[in-house]
Copies of this chain bind each other. A is one copy, B any other.
Amino acid sequence: MSTAEIDQLARLLAKLPGLGARSSRRAVLALLKRRETLGEPLVRALREAFDKVRACGVCGNLDSIDPCGICASQRRDRQTILVCEEVEDLWAMERAQSYGGLYHVLGGKLSAIDAVGPEDLGIDRLMARIQADDVKEVILALGATVDGQTTAHYIAERLAGLAVNVSRLGHGVPVGGELNYLDEGTLQAALRARQKLTL
């Protein structure tokens, strides 16, 4: 019914996270109907991003400069490294505007099922960086999943011999979260992490 060009475009858009079969068809129509204001600018923005954006050779962040703006900044605490799984996690931390150190993006997590080992995540590179740059604290901001925690545990063990403080993010009730929507694990962690109320 629809043409090969439309089908191919919808098929590719459906591979984007958040778009399914139906929404990708709606997206194709939006792109074709708003060719001048949306479609063509999107093609230019994709070209621009593919031409300019690269992974930072130091931390794995995405930027148009290498080392990235964060690694190059002299205003950040260069003795603290926050280790996270994906660039998305780095962006989320930056949006929270409460961390001023450097990052290290692993690009994944250890996984027996997906056969992802320490060498795939460049953990040797992280170790070398920590030793070379006189890092004082490593924050393991990995997902609270089995693989995330396995990865955190592995890195913590590798760091055990070094003179560096290792921490992880606190677990608890998300701000704005309602208790009856939370899983037992989170509630148990939140209870253990309870804090004295000072009035």
Contacts and interface: CB of A to CB of B under 8 A. Distances in A.
Given A5-B52, A27-B17, A42 B38 contact: no
Contacts of A40: 50
A1 interface: yes
Contact of A49 (B19, B32, B45, B49): B32
Interface string A84-99: 0011100100110000
Contact of A31 (B16, B29, B87): B16
Interface residues of A, number: 52
Interface of A: 1-6, 8-9, 12-13, 15-20, 23-32, 35, 38-43, 45-50, 52-53, 62-64, 69-70, 86-88, 91, 94-95
Contacts of A3: 52-53, 62-64, 69
Most chain B CB inside 10 Å of its own CB: which residue of A5, A26, A32, A52: A5
A70 B24 CA distance: 22
A31 B32 CA distance: 20
A6 B42 contact: no
A53 B20 CA distance: 22
A28 B49 contact: yes
Contact of A95 (B1, B18, B48): B1
Contacts of A45: 5, 8-9, 12
